[in-house]
Amino acid sequence: KNEVEQSPQNLTAQEGEFITINCSYSVGISALHWLQQHPGGGIVSLFMLSSGKKKHGRLIATINIQEKHSSLHITASQLSDSASYICVVRSGTYKYIFGTGTRLKVLA
Amino acid sequence: EAGVTQFPSHSVIEKGQTVTLRCDPISGHDNLYWYRRVMGKEIKFLLHFVKESKQDESGMPNNRFLAERTGGTYSTLKVQPAELEDSGVYFCASSPQVEFQLGPHEQYFGPGTRLTVT
C-alpha cells in the first residue's frame, strides 16, 4: 500500500463542473503540498497546507490532520485546468513523498 | 548515509552580482531537481536533471539562471546578474529512479540555500 494515495487516478469533466481530487496518507506529516503539472511542463506548487483550508482563485484545498486526508477542489473548471495534480506530503525533515497523481481532462 | 547537501546555506549579494549555488545529491541518485520558494509564495520547480542531462528546464525563470551537472554528480545553479526578485530559498532534491514518473516516489530535499539580493 502506498503511503500517499490519490483518487481518482484519472478524471474527465465537462467545462464548468466542480471537481474534487482526494489525497489520503498513512504517515505523520508536517506539511502537505498540492502540485500541478501540465503535460511536458514543470511542476507548480498550488498550495502548502498544515491545517485547515486555503483558497486561491477557483482552487480550494482542505486538510484534515486527524483523518489524514486532503482534498483539492476546482470550481467552474476550465479547459486550462487539464493537467496532472499531485499530492505531496512532507514526512521527516527533508523527505517528501509523492502521491500517485490524478490526471484531469476538462472537455468543452 | 549522507543526505542531500547544499552550499552555501545563506548568501547575501548585491543586485548585479553573480552567485553560484551548489547541490550534492545523495550518492547514486540519477535524478536531481532544483526548486525555489520566493518569499511569501509557494515552492516552484526550476529544472530536472537525469544524470548530466537536463530533462526538463521549463521552470527556469529567465536566461540569468544557468544550471549545470557536469559528470552527473553535483549540480550548480548560477544566477548572473542577480536581481532583487531572485531572493528566496533554493532547494535541491534528488531521487534514485531513472525516469521521473508521477508518484509514488520520494524526493530527498536538501536544506536549501537562502539567497538575499540587496
- Output the nine-digit C-alpha cell for B1: 548515509
Residue A2 has pLDDT above 90, yes or no: no
Write the Ramachandran bin of A101: left for phi over 0, alpha for psi from -120 to 50, otherwise beta: left
Question: B102: distance to nearest CA of chain A, Å?
Answer: 6
Question: What residues of chain A lie within 8 A of the CB of B109, using their CB?
Answer: 94-96
Flag if A42 and B107 touch (Cβ within 8 Å). Answer: no
Q: What's the pLDDT at B102?
A: 40
Check if B43 contacts A (Cβ < 8 Å). yes
Q: What's the pLDDT at B106?
A: 58
Flag if B93 and A46 touch (Cβ within 8 Å). Answer: no
pLDDT tens figures, B40-98:
565 677 888 989 999 878 788 899 999 999 888 999 999 999 999 999 989 888 877 64
Q: What's the pLDDT at B101?
A: 43
Select from A1, A2, A71, A59 the least CA-distant residue to A32: A71
Q: What's the pLDDT at B13?
A: 97
Tally A–B CB contacts below 8 A. 71
Band of residue B1 on the pLDDT scale cut at 50, 70, 90: low
Q: What's the pLDDT at B74?
A: 97
Residue B32 has pLDDT above 70, yes or no: yes
Q: What's the pLDDT at B103?
A: 39
Q: What's the pLDDT at B58?
A: 76
Residue A80 has pLDDT above 60, yes or no: yes
Nearest to A4 among B46, B48, B103 (CB): B103
Question: A18: distance to nearest CA of chain B, Å?
Answer: 24
Band of residue B2 on the pLDDT scale cut at 50, 70, 90: confident
Flag if A42 and B3 touch (Cβ within 8 Å). Answer: no
DSSP B110: P
Could you check whether the bond before residue B25 is cis, i.e. omega within 30 degrees of 0? no
Average pLDDT, chain A: 87
Question: What residues of chain A lie within 8 A of the CB of B3, using their CB?
Answer: 94
Largest CA distance in chain B: 41
Chain B, residues 74-103, CB within 8 A of chain A, namely: 93, 102-103
Band of residue A84 on the pLDDT scale cut at 50, 70, 90: confident
Residue B99 has pLDDT above 50, yes or no: no
Of residues A50 and A15, the one with the higher pLDDT is A15
d(C-alpha B35, C-alpha B1), whole Å: 23
